[in-house]
């Protein structure tokens, strides 16, 4: 079994940054041959790594530290006025956690979401192989949060269970339900699930101050940022 002391890491060549224009990025990956169990995955997440399928990675850019790992302190969270409005708006939804696995039903929602909202991104065009390699492969203690409106699947959130919290991997939803703010709703649901399980944190991935798409993360407070190897409360504008 691998551990932090025996892990080998690799860095990609510099490539165009996906978030900030006119910048290059370098990504550090855990050796894909490593046997990463839940304990090691939890340790890596606390060090700022994320999971994408069977790959564990974190930014490793020579001249940029814009990508900041963030996590929410679950026991201190109180929804603000807008978040309470989102909860009220979605009282008619039903939610359940199921083991992460491929299904045609999930894929149809995924493809619809990518085609409508991310045609300009590197996930377009969607494919079943892409869905599986991104959201199913490499699952350790991994789950899908099904969000349903009646008999219809309205949203799907990939969630990993860690030793010290939940890790929010990715959320998709039916584009025609955009006014329900299902991305925010999924985070709020995961906060309550972490609280129900007695877990202290919800990991929300990376936050970039200059990236408007990530502004929503700092609306969940108190949120902590990993800087210089220490988690401290993020003071955002």
Say what angle helices 81-89 and 182-196 make with each other, to 10 degrees.
Answer: 100
- Do 50 and 167 lie in one domain? The reply is no
- Do 133 and 168 lie in one domain? The reply is yes
- Do 41 and 145 lie in one domain? The reply is no
Q: Does 3 map to a domain?
A: no
| Final residue belonging to a domain, choices 17, 51, 66 | 66
The pLDDT of residue 166: 98
**56: which residues sit within 8 A by CB, 6+ positions away?**
29, 30, 36, 41, 44, 49, 50
* CATH number of the domain residue 153 falls in: 3.40.630.30
- Do 89 and 144 lie in one domain? The reply is yes
Q: Does 62 map to a domain?
A: yes
Q: Does 140 map to a domain?
A: yes
| Final residue belonging to a domain, choices 66, 87, 108 | 66
- Do 217 and 196 lie in one domain? The reply is yes
Work out how many domains the chain is built from and give that number.
Answer: 2
CA distances from 150 to 75, 132, 216, 217 (A): 31, 26, 27, 29
Q: Which two tokens stand for residue 200?
A: 């202290």
- Do 207 and 105 lie in one domain? The reply is yes
- Do 91 and 204 lie in one domain? The reply is yes
Q: Does 20 map to a domain?
A: yes
* Burial (CB count within 10 angstroms: exposed 0-12, middle 13-18, buried 19+), residue 150: exposed
Q: Does 42 map to a domain?
A: yes
- Do 52 and 77 lie in one domain? The reply is no
What's the angle, vertex CA 221, arms to CA 215 and CA 224, rounded to 5? 85
- Do 209 and 119 lie in one domain? The reply is yes
Give the HSE-up count for residue 79: Cα atoms under 13 Å, Cβ half-sphere: 16
> SS3 for 145?
strand
The pLDDT of residue 236: 56
- Do 43 and 114 lie in one domain? The reply is no
| Final residue belonging to a domain, choices 40, 66, 92 | 66
- Do 121 and 187 lie in one domain? The reply is yes
- Do 160 and 97 lie in one domain? The reply is yes
pLDDT tens per residue across all 237 residues of the chain: 689 999 999 999 999 998 898 899 999 999 999 999 999 999 999 999 999 999 999 999 988 999 999 999 999 999 999 999 999 999 999 999 999 999 999 999 999 999 999 887 778 899 999 999 999 998 789 999 999 999 999 999 999 999 999 999 999 999 999 999 999 999 999 999 999 999 999 999 999 999 888 989 999 999 999 999 999 999 754
Distance from C-alpha of 137 to C-alpha of 156, rounded to nearest angstrom? 16
Q: Does 197 map to a domain?
A: yes
Provide the greatest CA pair distance for the chain. 49
Segments forming the whole domain that contains residue 170: 71-233
Q: Does 185 map to a domain?
A: yes
Distance from C-alpha of 89 to C-alpha of 32, rounded to nearest angstrom? 42
Residue 21's CB is within 10 A of a number of other CB atoms, namely 7
Query: Phi and psi dihedrals of 206, rounded to 5?
Result: -105, 145
Q: Does 2 map to a domain?
A: no
């Amino acid at each position: 079994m691998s551990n932090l002391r025996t892990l080998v890491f690799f860095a990609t060549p510099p490539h165009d940054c996906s978030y900030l224009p006119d910048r290059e990025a370098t990504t550090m990956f855990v050796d894909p041959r490593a046997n990463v169990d839940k304990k090691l995955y939890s340790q890596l997440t606390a060090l700022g790594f994320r999971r994408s399928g069977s790959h564990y990675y974190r930014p490793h850019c020579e001249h940029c530290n814009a990508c900041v790992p963030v996590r929410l302190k679950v026991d201190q969270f109180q929804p603000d006025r807008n978040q309470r409005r989102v909860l009220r708006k979605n009282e008619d939804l039903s939610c359940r956690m199921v083991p992460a696995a491929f299904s045609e039903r999930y894929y149809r929602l995924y493809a619809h979401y990518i085609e409508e909202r991310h045609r300009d991104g590197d996930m377009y065009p969607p494919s079943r192989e892409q869905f599986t390699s991104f959201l199913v492969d490499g699952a350790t203690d991994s789950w899908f949060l099904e969000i349903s409106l009646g008999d219809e699947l309205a949203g799907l959130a990939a969630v990993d269970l860690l030793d010290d919290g939940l890790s929010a991997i990715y959320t998709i939803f039916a584009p025609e339900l955009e006014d329900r703010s299902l991305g925010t709703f999924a985070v709020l649901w995961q906060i309550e699930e972490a609280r129900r399980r007695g877990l202290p944190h919800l990991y929300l991935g990376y936050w970039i101050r200059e990236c408007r798409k990530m502004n929503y993360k700092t609306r969940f407070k108190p949120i902590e940022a990993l800087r210089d190897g220490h988690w401290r409360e993020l003071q955002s504008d």
